[in-house]
Amino acid sequence: MYKIFILTACFMIAFMGSVSAKSLNDENISLKYNVYAGGLHALKASLDMSLTAKKYDIEVDAKTNGFIGKVFPWAGHFETVGTTDKKDLIPETHTSTSSWKKKAKEKELEYKDGVFKAKHEIKNGKKTTNNKIKNELTIDTVDMLTGAVQLLQNAENQSTCNGSVPVFDGKRRFNLIFKEAGSSTIRKSKYSAFSGTALKCTVEIEPVLGFRAKDKKRGWLAVQNHTKARKKMPTIWLSKLEEDGPVVPVRVEIASSYGAVIAHLTSIKSK
C-alpha cells in the first residue's frame, strides 16, 4: 500500500512544480504542500522556482512524514534548469534523485537547445550514460516538470486547462493531458491555506512508446486505470492567489484503491 501512496504523491509533486512562468518574470516563488494518504500526513513537499527573462529553475523536494516516514523513509529531489525564449521553456537538464532508506539513485536527462541528447544515471556509486536512445522516444518531448509548467501557462493564457504535452521520462514516451472539468469552491480549513474558486482539471497519462504490457498494470497506470474505472480521474485544482499572481495548483486528489491521496497548498511566498 505504501508504494501506491508514495507513487501517487510523487506524481502530484510534479504538478506542485507547475507554476505558470508567465507571471514570474525576474521573481522567485516558494510553495509548500502537505500530502495526505488514507487520512495520514504522508509527505511534505516544497517548491522553489526562479525565472528571469533568460533562465528558469524549478526545484521540488519531498519527504515522507511522521509514522510513514519512520517506517518507509523516502526522500526525493527533482530539478529542471533551462532557458526561456519569449513564451517557450527550453530545458537544459532535468535531474531526479531519490533515496530509500540509505540507498540513493540519480537520473539526469541532458538537452541541447531543447533537444534531448543523453540520459545519465548514478546507482551504487557507478555512473552510466546512454546517448543512443531511439529518436522516436524523445523527439519533440520535454521533461515532466517543463511539461507541467507549459500546461499551466496554457491555463493562464486561455483560462482553460485543456491541453497536451509530449513527455519523455528517461524510459518511456507519453502524453501528459489536462482536461477541464468545470470549477468548484474550496473552503479554507486547517489543512489548506487556500479558499476561493478554482478551475478543476483532470490529469491523464497517455502511453505512446516504450511501455511494456506489465507497465500498464502497475505503478501510475494501475492507479489511473482504477480511477478511470470508477469514473473519478486524478484531479488538480488551479487558481490565482492574487489578482496579478501566477496560476498555481491549490489542491490535487487521486482516489487510489487504498484510499484518497490529497495534496493541499499550505503556504506561498514570493521573493
pLDDT of residue 113: 92
What element of type H or E holds 24? none
Q: What is the pTM of this model?
A: 0.86
The span from the CA of 177 to the CA of 228, in Å, is: 14
User: pLDDT tens for residues 1-19?
Assistant: 445 555 555 555 555 555 5
The HSE-up count of residue 54 (CA atoms within 13 Å, CB side) is: 0
Structural domains of the chain, with CATH: 2-68+141-270 (2.40.360)
d(CA 114, CA 168): 12
The fraction of the chain above a pLDDT of 90, given in percent, is: 27
Q: Please tell me the distance from the alpha carbon of residue 47 to that of residue 86, in angstroms, as a whole number.
A: 23
Place of cell 509514522: 67
What's the distance, CA 37 to chain centroid?
Answer: 17
Cα 149 to Cα 242: distance, rounded to the nearest angstrom: 18
pLDDT (0 to 100) of residue 100: 83
Q: DSSP E strands: which ranges in the chain?
A: 27-37, 40-51, 55-64, 74-85, 88-100, 103-112, 115-123, 126-130, 163-168, 173-186, 196-209, 235-240, 247-256, 259-270
Predicted pLDDT at 18? 57
Chain-wide mean pLDDT for the chain? Answer: 83
Q: Given its phi and psi angles, is residue 187 left (phi above 0), alpha (psi -120 to 50 degrees) or beta?
A: beta
Categorise residue 252: left if φ over 0, alpha if ψ from -120 to 50, beta otherwise: beta
Give the separation between CA 173 and CA 7, rounded to whole angstroms. Answer: 18
Average pLDDT by consecutive 10-residue portion of the chain (271 residues)? Answer: 51 55 62 86 86 85 88 89 85 92 89 96 88 95 89 72 92 92 88 89 92 82 80 86 76 78 85 62
Do 97 and 77 form a contact (C-beta atoms < 8 A)?
yes
Our measurement of the distance from residue 49's CA atom to the centroid of its chain's CA atoms, rounded to an integer in Å, reads: 13
pLDDT of 151: 83
